Structure 1
Amino acid sequence: MASLIKRGSTWQYTVNNYVDGKRKPVVKGGFKTKKEAQLAAAEIETQLKKGQQVVIKEIPFSRYFEEWIELYKSNRYKTTYKRYINSLDRVKEYFKDIPIQKITRTDYQKFINEYGKGKSKETVRKLNTHVRSCVKDAIEDGFIFIDFTRKVELNASKTAKKPSEKHLDYLESVRLYKELFKRLDNTTSTYHLILLGLVSGARFGELVGLTKDSFNFKNNTINIKKAWDYKDGSGFAPLKNEQSERTISIDRKVMTEFKKLILSLPENPYELVFFRPTSTKVVTNEGANKLLRKLLESLNIDTISMHGLRHTHASVLLYKGSNIHSVSKRLGHSDIQTTLDHYAHVLKEMEQRDEIIAMNLYAK
Structure 2
Amino acid sequence: MLYEFKTEDRFIDYYSQWIRIYKEGAVREVTLAKYKMAQAWVEKLIPDVSLQEMTRVAYQQLINDYAKNHERQTTMDFHHQLKGAILDAVDEGLIPHDPTRKIIIKGKTPKHKKKKYLNQFELHNLLSNLHLGNEVNWDYFILLVAKTGMRFSEALALTPKDFDFAHQTLSISKTWNYKGEGGFLPTKNKSSVRKIQIDWQTVMQFAGLTKNLPLEEPIFVHRKDDTYEPIYNSTVNGILARYCKQLKIPVISIHGLRHTHASILLFAGVSIGSVARRLGHASMTTTQKIYLHVIQELENQDIDLVMRSLANLT
Structures share fold, TM-score greater than 0.5: yes
Q: Secondary structure at the match of 1:271?
A: coil
The residue type equivalent to 2:159 in the other structure is T
Distance of 1:283 and 1:302 partners within structure 2 = 24
CA contact (8 A) 2:276 2:283 kept: yes
Q: How many residues matched?
A: 304
Matches within 5 A, 1:98-247: 98-144=49-95, 145-148=97-100, 150-156=102-108, 159=111, 161=113, 165-180=115-130, 183-247=131-195
Q: Which has the larger radius of gyration?
A: 1
The residue type equivalent to 2:105 in the other structure is E
Per the normalisation by structure 2, the TM-score is 0.86
1:282 CA drift (Å): 5.8
Matches within 5 A, 1:1-364: 57-74=7-24, 75-144=26-95, 145-148=97-100, 150-156=102-108, 159=111, 161=113, 165-180=115-130, 183-263=131-211, 265=213, 267=214, 271-277=217-223, 281=229, 283-364=231-312
Q: Secondary structure at the match of 1:248?
A: strand
CA offset digits 1:62-93 (Å, max 9, x no partner) = 23323333344331222122222222222222
CA contact (8 A) 1:229 1:237 kept: yes
The residue type equivalent to 1:276 in the other structure is H
CA contact (8 A) 1:120 1:160 kept: no
1:317 CA drift (Å): 1.4
CA contact (8 A) 2:169 2:197 kept: yes
Per the normalisation by structure 1, the TM-score is 0.75
Give the alignment's Cα RMSD to 1 decimal: 2.5
Percent identity between the two aligned chains: 34
Give the unaligned 5+ runs of structure 1. Answer: 1-54
1:302 CA drift (Å): 1.6
Distance of 1:122 and 1:114 partners within structure 2 = 15
Give the unaligned 5+ runs of structure 2. Answer: none
Moved more, 327-336 or 238-247: 327-336
Between 1 and 2, higher relative CO (CA 8 Å, sep ≥ 6) is seen in 2
CA contact (8 A) 2:7 2:52 kept: no
CA contact (8 A) 2:11 2:50 kept: yes
1:287–1:141 CA distance, 2 compared to 1 (3 A): same
